[in-house]
Structure 1
Amino acid sequence: MAASPAVDNSSVAADQLKAFIERIERVSEEIDGLAGDRKDIYAEAKATGFDVKALRKIVALRKKDHAERQEEQAILELYQQALGMD
């Protein structure tokens, strides 16, 4: 097995690498915090009486453009008809 190349801690590349890693770590912490916030919002909506599963579905649908939503709906209806679910 070949040894990994040594990194000179005083090199500019090592400083850049460290800066990238630290930025990634900060963003990851922010993402974790925002995910916790999102969880709290869903919990609050549920406590108010809203159906969280429906809310999640609507959020997912709103991320898609109109044409994509229409195509998915048409395919879903076609499959439901084929299965006698209409």
Structure 2
Amino acid sequence: MTEVCVAFPALSAIEEGFEVFVVTDASGTFNKTTRDAAWFRMQAAGVQLMSWFGAACELHRDWRNDIEGLATLFSNHLPSYRCLINSYNHGKAAADT
């Protein structure tokens, strides 16, 4: 539960002086009101909220290192991203000919 299993350790880590990031779409709770209250509480304490997509891109840092790996991960989980990669690959293949 976001308001317990995420908020408590995040707030404790902030209290200990750590910089804390919470991946908001990696946990859930009963309803939107409860979720938002937990997010607002953490954010007010200094926790930085982000999505799994943002976290993955930030950890990856440089697309030149591994275009295929991260693109495959995104394509497997995001149909719209799969369309983008297919378009990129099609354009790249046409340019190579």
Fold match, TM over 0.5?
no
TM-score by length of 1: 0.28
Greater strand share, structure number? 2
The structure in which a higher percent of residues are helix is 1
